[in-house]
Amino acid sequence: MSEIIENDLAGDNRPEYSVSEISGIVRGLIESEFEYVRIRGEIGRVSNPRSGHIYLDLKDEKSVLAAVIWKGNVQKLPTMPEEGLEVIASGKLTTFGAQSKYQLIVEHITPAGEGALMALLAKRKEKLRQEGLFDASRKKALPYLPDVIGVITSSSGAVVRDILHRLRDRFPREVIIWPVAVQGDSCSVEVARAIDGFNSFTRSDQIKRPDLLIVARGGGSLEDLWGFNEENVLRAVAASEIPLISAIGHETDTTLIDLVSDVRAPTPTAAAEIAVPVLSEISHNLNKIEHRKWRQLKQKLSHSKQRFVDVSRSMPRGAEICALPSQRLDVTSERLPRGLLNLIQRNKLQSAKILAGFHPRFLKQMLDAQHERMAVHSESLFVSFQRNSEKKHVHLKMLSNNIRSNDFNQAIKRIKVNFRQMVYRLLSAKSNLLAARFTKLESLDRLRETLGYKETLNRGYSVVRAKGSVMTSVSAVVNKAQIEVEFIDGRIRACITETAANEKKQATKAKDNTKIKGKTPTQGSLF
C-alpha cells in the first residue's frame, strides 16, 4: 500500500506553493479584478483602536464583508460610520493574508439615500438629548444691545447682505464676518473652527471679541444642510461662551444646531431682527418715558403745593403762635431786676468773707509760721550734711592708707618680667619654626632633583622637542620636521627623514585584513 502511494506522489508534477506565495497570488487576482468598487450595505461592528484606524463590518441579509478605513482617510470622511447606518462605501478590495480573509479598504463613505440620513439624524438627536445639550437651563440669554456681532456664513451668498442690510435698518452695529463653507465636506470643520476662533478672542486682541454670534445659511436639501448636524459643530456651539443665534435654511428647515443654539431664528433676516432692537422704536420709547416722567413730576409738584396750602390753612396765625412765648417773656422781665439785686447782695457778702482772710495781721502770722518751719528744716539739713561729710572723709582716709606706692612699683616690675619672658618665648618659637620649614624645603628640593628628568638623562635617556613641545610618540612627529634632542651634557638639532611606526602599522593592518578575508562568514546580510 505504501509503495503505491509513493509511486503516485512521485509521478505528480503539479507545482508546490508556500502559504505566502498562494496568499500573494490570491491577493493579486482580487485586486486586479476589483480595483475600485462601490458597495452598499449596513454598518455592523465598528472598532476605533488607538492607532486611529477604523475597522468595521458591512453586511446585508446573507453576508458580512470586513472593511478598514486608514487613519489618513478618517478625517476626510463627510460622515463618521455608526452601527446600523446604511451606507455606500467606495474603495479597493484586497486580502489580509495574516487571517486568510478579504477586506475592503474604504476611501469614501456616504449614507445610502435620505432615509439613511434621517435615521442617522434621529439617532444623533436622541444621543445629544440624553447628554443634555438641548436643555433650556444651559442656554444663555442674548445681550439687549451688543456692541460687536460675529457672523459665521459664506462671504459670497445673499445671506450676509441680508443680515448687514437688516442691521443697518434697525440699529447699526460693528459686524465681524468669518467666511466659511456652508455645505460640502469641509462645512462642519470650518464652522466649528470659526465658533472656537471667536471664543478665543480676548480684550487685548486687535480684533474685538463679539458679544453675540450668528450662524446663518440659506435654504437647501437635507444633504446641503448636513454639515450643521455634525457633532463637532454641535459641541462647539454647546461649549461657546458667547451667546449664539442659529439661522439655518428657511422656516421649515430644522437642523440639530437649532436645538443646541441659545436662540433659533427662522431666517437669517429674522436673526438680525432678534440680535438688535429698532433704533427708532427705542428713541420713541425714550421720548414717551421722558414725557411721562415730566408729567408725573408736574402732578407731584401740584399735589405737594395743594397739600401745603391745605396744611397751612389748618395751622394757627402767627400772632397766636407768639402770644404764649411773649407772655413768658414779660413775666421773666419783671423778675429779672429783683434777681439781679439778690445776686449782688450775695456776692458782696462772699467778697467780704474772702477779704477778711487777707488782713495784714493774718498775713504776718502766716509768714512767721513759714519762717519758723524753714529754720527748723535748714538746721536739720545742716546737721545731716555734716554727718555725711565726716563719713566720706573717714572712708577716703581708709582708702588712702590701703593704697601705697611700693605696691604699684612691685606690680610694674612683675609685668615687665612677664613681658620679657613672653618676648623670649616668641623669638624662640619663631626660630624653631623657620628651621623646621627650611629643613622641609631642602628635603623637597632633593626629592625634586631625584624625580626630575635630569636624573633620567643621567641614565642614558634623552628628551625630544619639536616647536617647543615635548614629543611623546612617533605619530606626533611629522616627516621632514626639525626636532631638538636634549642629553645630559647639551642639546642637538636634527631633521626627521623617515618614521617606522607607519610601516609597522600598515603591516599589522594588512595582516588583519588577510585574517578577515580568509574567514568564512557564518551569517549573511539581511539587506
Range of the domain at 478: 445-498
260-294 tens-digit pLDDT: 999 999 888 889 999 998 887 888 888 889 888 88
Q: How many helices (H) and strands (E) does the chain have?
A: 15, 14
For residues 151 and 272, membership in a common domain is answered with yes
CA distances for 148 relative to 53, 194, 288, 496, 507, angstroms: 42, 16, 28, 89, 87
Helices within 171-230 (DSSP H only): 187-200
Strands 148-153 and 174-179: parallel
For residues 151 and 269, membership in a common domain is answered with yes
466-480 tens-digit pLDDT: 777 777 777 777 665
On whether residue 141 sits in a domain, the answer given is no
Q: What distance in Å separates the CA atoms of residue 276 and residue 173, rounded to the nearest whole number?
A: 8
Question: What's the pLDDT band for 116 if we cut at 50, 70, 90?
Answer: low
For residues 156 and 56, membership in a common domain is answered with no
On whether residue 360 sits in a domain, the answer given is no
For residues 57 and 152, membership in a common domain is answered with no
On whether residue 173 sits in a domain, the answer given is yes
- Domain CATH code at residue 163: 3.40.50.261
**Among the three residues 225, 242, 277, which one is the final residue of a domain in this structure?**
277
**Among the three residues 277, 295, 329, which one is the final residue of a domain in this structure?**
277
On whether residue 395 sits in a domain, the answer given is no
For residues 177 and 62, membership in a common domain is answered with no
Helix (H, G, I), strand (E, B) or coil at 433: helix
How many separate domains does the chain show?
A: 3
For residues 94 and 209, membership in a common domain is answered with no
For residues 270 and 152, membership in a common domain is answered with yes
On whether residue 375 sits in a domain, the answer given is no
For residues 68 and 152, membership in a common domain is answered with no
| 199-238 CB burial, b ≥16 within 10 A, e <16 | bebeeeeeeebbbbbbbbbbeeeeebbbbbbbebbbbbbb
Q: What distance in Å separates the CA atoms of residue 513 and residue 520, rounded to the nearest whole number?
A: 13
For residues 38 and 103, membership in a common domain is answered with yes
71-96 tens-digit pLDDT: 888 877 777 787 777 788 888 888 88
Residue with cell 508546490: 16
232-267 tens-digit pLDDT: 899 999 999 999 999 987 777 678 888 999 999 988
On whether residue 435 sits in a domain, the answer given is no
- Domain CATH code at residue 30: 2.40.50.140
Please classify residue 442 by burial: count the beta carbons closer than 10 Å to its beta carbon, then call 0-12 exposed, 13-18 middle and 19+ buried. exposed
For residues 82 and 36, membership in a common domain is answered with yes
On whether residue 208 sits in a domain, the answer given is yes
Does the model's pTM come out above 0.75?
no
Please check the confidence at residue 151 and state whether its pLDDT lies above 90.
Answer: yes
For residues 102 and 154, membership in a common domain is answered with no
For residues 152 and 271, membership in a common domain is answered with yes
Pick from 137-141, 155-159, 223-227, 382-386 the range whose average pLDDT is largest. Answer: 137-141
On whether residue 154 sits in a domain, the answer given is yes
**Among the three residues 112, 133, 155, which one is the final residue of a domain in this structure?**
112
